[in-house]
């Protein structure tokens, strides 16, 4: 396995003093309506509002002093960009984030507030990534990929350590999958330790890139459609190490449609008064869908982030609340 127990231990040692050990709480309400013991891993309460800090911080922590001096580069206006910026702040490392010129002011401000430098590029996220990574090659700076890096994956694996410490009896851990960094990390921890907990990947039907690649046995371009789980959407890099890891560690997977995601986001607010982004809704939606199969079992749902604008969130949950006709704008084409 590309991410070994030694790397996981080293990650935990490096980042644990600087991150929040997030709560794992039983949801009485969601457990009652499903018949499953639903435990919520509240990683949306992590600094920057997502787990991405873990991987970024582990990455920077393992750089040589020379590399740290040069600063690090990344390209992401979302959770990963925030995570790298925060990791830079914690470690005193210069961070440059490449983003498209069209990035919203609120995301730009959030990254700036963490002290990172922004570089705006003409074009989309892929152009930003290519510009950032080629500059990194030129200057010798380290380019932090959102998922395609063993150090990033080892950082995310610390979530597995925490979950296992908090609930050794967990029958399954449900999490949404995008590039696969999170599930590769958590899965590596459980498999390396031969712990019999089911690793469950959850995808929106509209954005199943890594799932389709696994089904086809190789990394391919996959058509995707708009999804509430915007932070997990997008294709997989051709050489991504998350592909072989995900192939090995994922025991089970489920897909959910957009209305299941929004319904799950509403249920979480109604029963737990927690506001989360769509990707977290995906994981909860999957266990709501599969409740019969996990009857009376201890199931962990990773609430992986809360970076959704409040306007967007309320638009998503509002139809459920006011019993209006439910109109979902997102659908499988």
CA atoms of 7 and 324, how far apart (whole Å): 50
CB of 90 to a second copy, least distance (A): 15
CA atoms of 185 and 175, how far apart (whole Å): 11
How many residues of this chain bind a second copy (CB under 8 A)?
21
Instruction: Name, in order, each residue with C-beta under 8 angstroms of 217's C-beta and a sequence gap of 6 or more.
Output: none
Length of the chain: 333
Of 138 and 311, which CB lies nearer to a second copy in the complex structure? 311
166 binding a second copy? (CB under 8 A): no
265 binding a second copy? (CB under 8 A): no
Instruction: Name, in order, each residue with C-beta under 8 angstroms of 252's C-beta and a sequence gap of 6 or more.
Output: 172, 198, 199, 200, 201
Whether 52 contacts 279, CB under 8 Å:
no
213 binding a second copy? (CB under 8 A): no
110 binding a second copy? (CB under 8 A): yes
3-state secondary structure of 152: helix
Q: Is 224 exposed, middle or buried (0-12, 13-18, 19+ CB in 10 A)?
A: middle
61 binding a second copy? (CB under 8 A): no
Q: Can you tell me which of 6, 126, 195, 314 binds a second copy, judged by CB under 8 A?
A: 314
Q: Can you tell me which of 273, 292, 325, 327 binds a second copy, judged by CB under 8 A?
A: 273
User: If you ran DSSP here, which 8-state letter would residue 102 be given?
Assistant: T
Of 34 and 131, which CB lies nearer to a second copy in the complex structure? 34
Choose the binding region for a second copy from 176-184, 192-200, 278-286, 308-316 (rule: CB under 8 A): 308-316
Q: Can you tell me which of 51, 85, 306, 330 binds a second copy, judged by CB under 8 A?
A: 306
Q: Can you tell me which of 2, 127, 274, 328 binds a second copy, judged by CB under 8 A?
A: 274
Alpha-carbon dihedral angle through residues 320, 208, 240, 16, given to the nearest 10 degrees: 20
Of 23 and 123, which CB lies nearer to a second copy in the complex structure? 23
Binding site for a second copy (CB under 8 A): 20, 23, 28, 45, 49, 109-110, 113, 269-271, 273-275, 306, 308, 310-311, 313-314, 321
């Amino acid at each position: 396995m590309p991410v070994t127990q030694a790397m996981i231990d080293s990650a935990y040692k490096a980042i644990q003093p600087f991150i929040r050990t997030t709560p794992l709480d039983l949801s009485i309400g969601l457990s009652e309506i499903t018949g499953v013991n639903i435990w919520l891993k509240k990683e949306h309460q992590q600094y920057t509002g997502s787990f991405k800090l873990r991987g970024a911080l582990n990455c920077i922590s393992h750089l040589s002093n020379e590399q740290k001096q040069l600063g690090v580069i990344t390209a992401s206006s979302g959770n990963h960009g925030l995570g790298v910026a925060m990791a830079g702040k914690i470690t005193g490392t210069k961070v440059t984030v490449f983003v498209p010129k069209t990035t919203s002011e609120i995301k730009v401000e959030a990254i700036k507030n963490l002290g990172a430098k922004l570089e705006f590029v003409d074009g989309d996220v892929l152009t930003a990534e290519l510009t950032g990574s080629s500059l990194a090659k030129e200057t010798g700076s380290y380019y932090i990929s959102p998922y395609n890096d063993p150090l990033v994956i080892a950082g995310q694996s610390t979530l597995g350590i925490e979950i296992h410490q908090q609930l050794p009896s967990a029958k399954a851990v449900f999490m949404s999958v995008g590039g696969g960094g999170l599930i590769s990390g958590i899965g590596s921890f459980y498999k390396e330790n031969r712990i019999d907990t089911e690793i469950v990947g959850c995808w929106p039907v509209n954005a199943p890139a890594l799932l389709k690649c696994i089904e086809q046995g190789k990394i391919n371009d996959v058509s995707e459609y708009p999804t509430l789980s915007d932070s997990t959407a997008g294709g997989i890099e051709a050489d991504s190490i998350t592909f072989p890891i995900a192939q090995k560690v994922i025991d089970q997977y489920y897909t959910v449609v957009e209305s299941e995601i929004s319904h799950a986001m509403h249920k979480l607010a109604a029963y737990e008064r927690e506001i989360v982004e769509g990707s977290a809704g995906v994981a909860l939606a999957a266990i709501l869908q599969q409740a019969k199969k996990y009857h009376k079992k201890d199931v962990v749902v990773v609430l992986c982030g809360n970076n959704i604008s409040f306007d967007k969130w309320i638009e998503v949950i509002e139809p459920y609340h006011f019993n209006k006709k439910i109109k979902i704008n997102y659908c499988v084409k």
